[in-house]
Chains A and B, each alone.
Chain A
Amino acid sequence: MAAATLLLAVIVFSLLAFFGSSYRVSYLVEGDKKKLNSRLHYYGLFALLCAGLPVSIAYFFWWLLTPFYFEASVVKFLINSLEVSPDENISLLLGQVNTIRDTLLSVDYSNTTELFNQSGTIDYEVMAAIYALANQPFDPETRSFLIQAGYDLWILENKANNTFRIALFFMILCIILLYFFLVKPGFRARYYVENIVLGILIAAAGIAIITTVGIIISMLFETFRFFELHEWKDFFFGYTWAPNFHGDSEMSILPLLFGTFYISIFALFVAVPIGLFSAIYLAEYSSSYTRSIAKPMLEILAGIPTIVYGLFALITFGPFLREFFGDGGAFGVNWMSDARSVATAGTVMGMMLIPFVSSLSDDIINAVPQSLRDGSYGLGATQSETIRLVVIPAALPGIVGAILLAASRAIGETMIVVLGAGAIAKFSGNPLEAMTTITTRIVSQLTGDGDFNSPETLVAFALGLSLFLITLVLNVIALYVVRKYREQYE
């Protein structure tokens, strides 16, 4: 019984349950709806939820958890097998078995049953035929017990899944029949339906928590594996970043942190003055007409995808900078060898950050009570003096919050630095040199054909966790400051 059949059965049964039980209840009270506890459709809805929900939940957990059982059984088989020598890499063999299973899965079942012989074993020719059916290359060197294990795994999974689906099928049937005959007009259908719906709403809200927990657990797990393979002292206190896929890598986060902060600070030096003065002008000086045009225009900068900025840095702005600072450039200096540099990525990232600073600061400056300004004018201060000495100090916590949010955005920004910052990890103060960041290294370590058991790949998870924690701290502080400040004047 395939998954699609089960899905269809669930839908059909749920609908049957809905109409059947509505009809049944209506029949029991002889059409007199006043005798019902709840409105008619709640009886149907309850039946529908009873039929659909448990099956969906059971199926979800089955789909989530059984692969572990199957994997464990294959590992056990491999460990006990005489053909596997003790020093062999089990996870590599497991991967091969899984590939064979996947190939079998990808071929239509009805086509393949005749390919297997009576005794339930499978031989090379059959396997080659199946691979041909699946349009996959078959390696004749594959060891026969692996093929057998893959085949057995496939059979086991098929059987288990089919049994489970049939069991579920009967479960729905039983629930529906039971409900159908037990339901009474006094049954508080609405109460139960609403509680179930509330449960669904709570589960949806829980997904936010699950995502965070998922992020932390998945990265912690891989980070621990990384520290089993790699010295933690080197990661936190080393000086060099030199991953080497042949082993013996030096991988320290410090040069990457340096590059990340350097580029972010460069970007903030571009974005904060422009953003802040824009916000001041928009909030204090401009007419409402100018404001209604200029503010959305600036916000367009935040809506442009970062890949666009990345391309702009790589193809337009980087070469433009090099025409001035590069070899044979307009300034006659040779400070810039590559179009990619801290200044390239930093300036372009600054462009992107302007609206983050300006919009939030603008809101915050607007939230400063007019009475403060009036008091200042009353004492004879000019408008600029009022802004400098009264409005900005009053808005300062909020502005700092906005800048911190922009900083967190800059630290986690990926596409601009991947395309515009270069790949060289070093400590250098020259903003015209290429430098690399945490995010670019995560991308480069994870997009190769790396093996997920090597420290060179796993280091990306340690970097990701560090990045997550840094931005988390910045966000928490920023959100706290902004919220605290809002409360102050509300």
Chain B
Amino acid sequence: MAHETGSLSEATALSRKRRAAEKRYRLYGLVAISIGLLMLVILIGTILSKGLTAFQQTFITLEIELIESKLDKKGNRDINEIKKVSTFGYAPLTKKSFEKLFSAYNLNTALSPKKASKILSKSAASDLRKFVLNDTSVIGKTISFEFLTNSWIDGYLKGRINREDIQNNKNVSTEQLDLVDELVKLGIVEKKFNLSFLLGSDASDMRPEAAGFGVSMVGSFYMMLVVLLLSLPVGVAASIYLEEFAPRNWITDIIEVNISNLAAVPSIVFGILGLAVFINFMHLPQSAPFVGGMVLTLMTLPTIIISTRASLKSVPPSIRDAALGVGASKMQTVFHHVLPLAAPGILTGTIIGLAQALGETAPLLLIGMIGYIATNMPSTLLEGLASPNSAMPAQIYEWAKRSDPAFYERAWGGIIILLVFLITMNTLAVILRRRFERRW
């Protein structure tokens, strides 16, 4: 090719090759980005398709006769007498109501009422008992009550379980599914929005249909409260010192290297630290949100310090000079002028740090925030901080570990809630940045 002649605009073999290479290279980049974005789409799609169903639950509305002779033998409506009737006393009532249901609608089924009542959740009797104890005046009346169905029926109506899969399943039979099909046509069984998933507490292994996310949301809330109250003041104070006061010497160098390293230490190491120091050494209670909050604080601090320092640095020196010029001390300059101007940036960094902490799971596993079924909503601030609870990511992990696939749906549903929180926080951070960001 050494002696090729002709116009430069005429493509030679070499330039054709080089142009092809150019196109290929560009394509590689495009393909890489598309794969990255495709992965994001697949992930979000999976979460939505598997998790949205958790917000709906199958309910069955039954006419229940609350027979006085069974629930309140003496008839004096004494709450302590009524409390003595355990859930076993309520179970026959549901059986009776199925009997009535069969005769009222003339249903043809091979199932006995007792077998049919098995389509209810295992918590049905205790739900009914709670309802009666709440308002004893309903005893003796016939009420219509909404029961949860068990997770197999729920799964059948949501398409998670089909008839072929349940041939050898002891928990559910094809006759029951036939019955459910009939009841769906009659409008007695239907899927409804499941408020107790948002507000309720976790349930035991056998009752996935009753498990809720609310209590762990409260646990996460208290942890974030601790993280905010500890890491914001400490982080801002540390950044002010490092950025405004610290002399440049080897000690501050060590602190700086340290902070950037701490930001990259695996989160599980903070969990080990929390276990060794807070629980084994200081004997603080396991599973308590304030211990979890302290561990997450240590993890969040470097993030907050780094972003706070960046926003302090972005305040121009002329502001400091002006303040010093009219006689303010160094400390007054920082607290009266620099800090207020840096506040939006600090706030943004804090929100992003909190969002990170909110989704962190590994350290929580080590300080015992799993394996614990959080059943009670804390009633006071102190109880919320100190009594054992779960947290959103820990609750998701807990559900992911259970063997019943019905819990997976809950886990994905929990993820949706968690992501909604994260998206809200990050959007807030972006809005704050856009709204208050100053260009000097």
Contact = CB atoms under 8 A, between A and B. Distances in A.
Contact of A201 (B40, B245, B419): B245
B167 to A, nearest CB: 19
A301 B40 contact: yes
A208 B277 contact: no
Contact of A307 (B246, B393, B426): B393
Interface in B333-390: 355, 358-362, 365-366, 368, 370-371
Nearest to B281: A218
B359 A305 contact: yes
A365 to B, nearest CB: 12
Contacts of A311: 396, 400, 408, 411-412, 415
Contact of A215 (B35, B50, B265): B265
Contacts of B266: 408-409, 411-414, 439, 467-468, 471
Contacts of B419: 304, 308
B300 to A, nearest CB: 11
Interface of A: 64, 67, 98, 190, 194, 197-198, 200-209, 211-212, 214-215, 218-219, 221-222, 273-278, 280-282, 284-285, 294, 297-298, 300-301, 303-312, 314-316, 351, 354-355, 358, 382-385, 387-388, 405, 408-409, 411-415, 418-419, 439, 442-443, 446-447, 452, 460-461, 464, 467-468, 471-472, 475-476, 479
- Which among A221, A303, A306, A308 has the highest number of chain B CB atoms within 10 Å? A308
B19 A208 contact: no
B238 A198 contact: no
B267 A412 contact: yes
Interface string B47-64: 100100000000000000
B32 A208 contact: no
B269 interface: yes
B268 interface: yes
B206 interface: no
B22 interface: yes
Interface stretch (B66-74, B75-83, B253-261): B253-261
Contacts of A460: 272
B419 to A, nearest CB: 7
Nearest to B411: A311
Contacts of B257: 476, 479
Given A222-B276, A467-B268, A384 B22 contact: yes
Interface of B: 18-19, 21-22, 24-26, 28-33, 35-37, 39-40, 43, 46-47, 50, 233-235, 237-238, 240-242, 245-246, 254-255, 257-262, 264-270, 272-273, 275-277, 280-283, 298, 301-302, 305, 329-331, 355, 358-362, 365-366, 368, 370-371, 393, 396-397, 400, 408, 411-412, 415, 418-419, 422, 426
A413 B266 CA distance: 7
A303 B422 contact: yes
B188 to A, nearest CB: 32
Dominant secondary structure of chain B at its interface with chain A? helix
B291 to A, nearest CB: 15
A64 B360 CA distance: 28
A206 B252 CA distance: 10
A217 B425 CA distance: 35
B393 A305 contact: yes
- Which among B26, B269, B415, B419 has the highest number of chain A CB atoms within 10 Å? B269
Given A384-B25, A472-B261, A202 B241 contact: yes
Contacts of A307: 359, 361, 393, 396-397, 400, 415
Given A212-B261, A219-B276, A409-B266, 5 more contacts: A67-B282, A305-B358, A308-B47, A446-B272, A461-B276
A20 B25 CA distance: 76
Contacts of A310: 361, 397, 400
Contact of B408 (A315, A382, A415): A315
Given A211-B298, A415-B361, A198 B241 contact: yes
A416 B50 CA distance: 19
Given A190-B329, A208-B259, A314-B400, A277 B31 contact: yes
Nearest to B246: A205
Contacts of A382: 18-19, 21-22
A118 B241 CA distance: 57
B193 to A, nearest CB: 24
B241 A281 contact: no
A132 B298 CA distance: 38
A479 B412 CA distance: 36
11 contacts: A194-B329, A198-B245, A204-B237, A204-B241, A208-B301, A209-B258, A307-B415, A385-B21, A413-B266, A414-B266, A446-B272
A464 B258 contact: no
Nearest to B422: A303
Nearest to A68: B281
Given A384-B21, A442-B268, A208 B262 contact: yes
A443 B268 contact: yes
A304 B359 CA distance: 8
B283 A98 contact: yes
A85 to B, nearest CB: 27
A464 B26 contact: no
Nearest to B263: A475
Nearest to B366: A446
